[in-house]
Structure 1
Amino acid sequence: MTRVYLDHNATTPLRAEAREAMIAAMDVCGNPSSVHAEGRAAKALVENARAQVATAFGADGADIVFTSGSTEGAALTLSGRGLHGSGLEHDAVRAWIEEDLPVSNAGKVTVTDPASTTLQLANSETGIVQDLPQGLAVTDATQAFGKLPIAFNWMGAQMAMISAHKLGGPKGIGAVVMPRGTDLQAQIKGGGQEMGRRSGTENVLGMVGFGAAAQAAARDLADGVWERVAELRNILEKALEAGTSKTIFVGKGASRLPNTLCFATPGWKGETQVMQMDLAGFAISAGSACSSGKVKASTVLTAMGYDEATASSAIRVSLGPETNEEDVLRFADAWLLKEKKHHARAA
């Protein structure tokens, strides 16, 4: 049985460009903070990666502060600020905010005071894309970066957080993006690396992989790769709709990430579907993958007004550049077969 990976919003396969860049960087032994030739060679790799990420994210003239990922990025940008947000945010963001902004049934957040608000650009579970207001304090662009044609310099946010493993880079490396010279209180103090915002010896291999992946992701966007992925997502959605009458397709008709499909069949637990599809050879998810393996009712769907039965039955299928039409049609056939058996048992 050939397995099909349909969980790209959780993490993506490592791009060949990132792997090759990281392998080459393994031969550079210097510490980027050292002033000798070996140290300068390592520092050059770090700064080249920084420039690659900045260019890919449309953040020329901004500061790119490397972190261990968007969870650390959330702590760095949100800690102690008392910002407002909604129940749609990732758990890493919700841990730092006042969760009090209203959410519509269509998954849109109402923002009245952008300067005191954090708002994700695209939701990892539903794929629904928000309209960012000018002057927004912070945006979580983790899922959007690499999939949507965006640029930090015009998106209107004061700061953004991004992560490498969502666009084909290695795990354990991300970045916070901000206007040059922004005063940001460091959470990790020490040697003053990363312009004093994030101390610690630099993760050179991770940074190099991030830079190469970001550059490749920008090329994919320009080449229309994600338009093709969106077509496959639509093919899958239509195939599923044609075969079921009891399933709710969340975010249908809304502006969504091109690769994301979220749907719920009330009464059929999402975790059960994930296990059944895993045994059938398909990797999918029920909600965010960043909850230590826990599967529970989707807080995102709950915030959108769905009841417990529906929120507990939601699953997410997220495609990638390597996904093909055979993959999605095979998944549709396998899932519809399981759905029919579920309803037969429940009857």
Structure 2
Amino acid sequence: MSSCCPAKTKSITDDVKDYYGKKLRTGDDLETAACTTPPQKMFKSVANAMALIHDEVVSKYYGCGIVVPECLEDMNILDLGSGSGRDCYALSKLVGKDGFVIGIDMTDEQLEVANRHVDYHMKAFGFDKPNIKFVKGFIEKLKDAGIADNSVDIIVSNCVINLCKDKHEVLSEAYRVLKEGGELYFSDVYADRVLSDEIRNHKVLWGECVSGALHWKQLFDLAKDIGFETPRTFEYRDLKITKPDLKEVLGDAKFVSVMYRLFKLPKDADRNASQVIYKGTITDNQDELKFDRKLTFKNGASVTIDGDTAAILKQSRFKEDFMFQKAPGCAKYSEVKEENPFDLLKSGGVTNEGGTCCC
């Protein structure tokens, strides 16, 4: 993964290109855990897709999460900073022959690896023609790479947005190319403070997704300013930098890796609280569907949800997987609020906050 920052921030761009194109040969060359994914459980279809990916593609993978959301059949997906293509190829298998995946990256060496194995994966997946392509470009300049307005169902990104200096432009471009009802599902690193210039200018820490981390509150401010719904925390984990020389540079700054989902909805979306019943129709999620860290829908169970969550379900790719009816006036439900991931780490709790009806 790597893709950020054109000429106006040329030094950062060149540093990142060199880091991911020349210095890093495999994941063993990383100096921190920021760009690594800890062992985690995968759904069967995801694990099966990952098992088919070429060894060279996997060896060149750098990322802090598995960015594979649910309900992917026939979707058009864009991967920001696709690197060697690991996530793209898994998604290519999961969207099926009638879906399509585009990976965008700025690093020639990574793109060479990704493009080298297109035919290999199409044969492994049993597809008679490619449903994937890789393009060279910058993730905050998607128009230059030919990504049209309102053309993408889902955008994924795996620990890449922090590598780019202009996060506002990245998120604005993501918003532009998403269809209404579309989702940005991404993993990234965040800090508990605004980082000092000394940290920001450290090449290794920037290349390893640490120095470029936003203060967590800035993400919520950017999302609101651009027009996204409130970011939904899906997963999070503590991120500790243990190498002594890097730890000394960082001082008391703390970091966390978070998987967020952001949705783009029409301005006139219906935002009435609703009672919903999940039908159990999504692959690998027949028994239950985890929507965010707080809310999990059980198959056949009636749940009362706030108007913003109802609007997302009604406008997005999930709309056919739920039954909707108006929530009774006495129904209780939790409102969507900003969440400090560092407070979540301290509390350590995951709760289901779907509401109930008193009637």
TM exceeds 0.5?
no
Greater relative contact order, per chain length (Cα 8 Å cut-off, separation 6+): 1
More helix by share: 1
Question: Normalized against structure 2, the TM-score is what?
Answer: 0.24
